[in-house]
Amino acid sequence: MRNFTLKNLLVVLTIFVIFVSNGSSVNTGVIEATFKKNDQDKELVARQQTTLKCIGYFNGDKINKAHIDFNIGGIMIPENAIYATLTAECNSKVVTLKPDSAKSKLVKYINKQFVPMKTLYGVQSLGNIAASPKNFGWSVIGNYLLQADPSECLNANEELIGMAQMCVTFNAPAGYKTISEIPCAKITSIVEDCPQNNSPDAILIEKLNKLLNRLAEYFAYSMSRFEKVKKPEDEKAKNLGDCFKKMALNIKVTVKENDIFCVTCDEMDTLSNINKESELQEDRIEVVRNLLKKSKDVFECKFEICIDKNTCVENKESVSNDGISRFSRSAITIMGIPLCIMLNQ
């Protein structure tokens, strides 16, 4: 959630120059394949789908950092892991797909060059987690994950710029020939919060980001839960869960002061123990409802939300039930020590 500074822009421009000089493009972010029916019988061709088209694209158009441990499609992604996911869809379900782990990779930009990250398990299939394709009438035929060890994020010495490349092979049935094919997609982006910034504002941003990811996981675990939130926030709850399942959740958190439309620290603390396997009580659901009111469902899977940092600052003495402040109680205790010593002499 850091600002995209002039330095970042210059680095990305440098990367672009390196890629172009090597005859490559930075963000060939879409895989494509087109097959045509190889049949001379015009009447038969007229009755069948003569052209098959497929595309593959990175979810969220960026490389991600996992803010929490979570499980998608039976695959565990640990907190701080760097990952990218790709969805493939076609205009016909007869096309099959096979990932190419040998050509797929995650790399990082260090000392003016890209070096490999320590990846986990190669390309992993996530099954059909994205139920809705981007193209009307098409079908999702596969979702794939490529992830790097959390140490790549935790041990980063400076803002981490990564590049993901995922490659697949589309296979059409017999009788079709390949007309065009782009088997690999690349995307380059800053991996946000790697390494983690320990400034007070950054800590609050990370805390709220983790909470929203847990909340999204909570709704994804059982889609009937969003109905308890009630309209109109139930739609945001449903979108959070859907985006989490598609691994396309993109949350932008900002820090503000004295803003009643921002989340408070009390609200975050109230939901700090949220667990996907445990149902929230009604008083907690009310806090969730209020939190969703303060969030903005921008478009697709992008959400914006703010936190009022002034609600996280203790400006008053904490007073106990009997009216004596903690400081006063401590002072009385300290003053009583020499008195006890004198009485015992």
Each residue's pLDDT, cut to its tens digit, for the chain (345 residues) gives: 444 444 454 444 444 444 433 334 444 679 999 999 876 555 545 555 689 999 999 988 889 999 999 988 789 999 999 999 999 999 999 999 999 999 999 999 988 889 999 998 889 998 877 668 889 999 999 999 999 999 999 998 888 999 999 999 999 998 899 999 999 999 999 998 898 788 999 999 999 999 999 999 999 998 889 889 988 999 999 999 999 988 888 999 999 999 999 999 999 999 999 999 999 999 999 999 999 999 998 788 899 999 999 999 753 333 334 444 444 444 434 444 443 444 344
pLDDT at position 332: 39
Shared domain check, 264 and 116: no
> What is the rounded distance in angstroms from the CA atom of residue 298 to the CA atom of residue 236?
10
Shared domain check, 13 and 157: yes
Shared domain check, 300 and 160: no
b/e 32-43 (16+ beta carbons within 10 angstroms → b): bbbbbbeeeeee
Tell me, yes or no, whether 210 lies in a domain.
yes
Tell me, yes or no, whether 327 lies in a domain.
no
Shared domain check, 155 and 49: yes
Shared domain check, 238 and 284: yes
The answer for residues whose C-beta is within 8 angstroms of residue 109's C-beta and 6 or more apart is 11, 15, 161, 162, 163
Shared domain check, 212 and 172: no
Shared domain check, 259 and 177: no
Cβ pair 235, 223 in contact under 8 A: no
pLDDT at position 337: 41
Tell me, yes or no, whether 240 lies in a domain.
yes
Tell me, yes or no, whether 148 lies in a domain.
yes
Cβ pair 188, 26 in contact under 8 A: yes
The structure tokens listed for 77 are 């992604």
On whether the pTM is more than 0.85, the answer is: no
Shared domain check, 216 and 136: no
Number of domains in the chain: 2
Domain boundary among 190, 209, 229: 190
Cβ pair 74, 68 in contact under 8 A: no
Tell me, yes or no, whether 325 lies in a domain.
no
Tell me, yes or no, whether 337 lies in a domain.
no
Shared domain check, 157 and 52: yes
Q: How large is the angle between the packed helices 233-245 and 282-293, nearest 10 degrees?
A: 90
Domain span holding position 32: 6-190
The answer for residues whose C-beta is within 8 angstroms of residue 225's C-beta and 6 or more apart is 218, 219, 237, 241, 279, 280
Q: Which helix (H) or strand (E) holds 338?
A: helix 326-344
Shared domain check, 185 and 75: yes
Tell me, yes or no, whether 332 lies in a domain.
no
pLDDT at position 131: 64
Domain boundary among 135, 159, 190: 190
Tell me, yes or no, whether 322 lies in a domain.
no
Cβ pair 37, 51 in contact under 8 A: yes
Domain boundary among 158, 190, 222: 190
Shared domain check, 39 and 174: yes
Shared domain check, 209 and 130: no
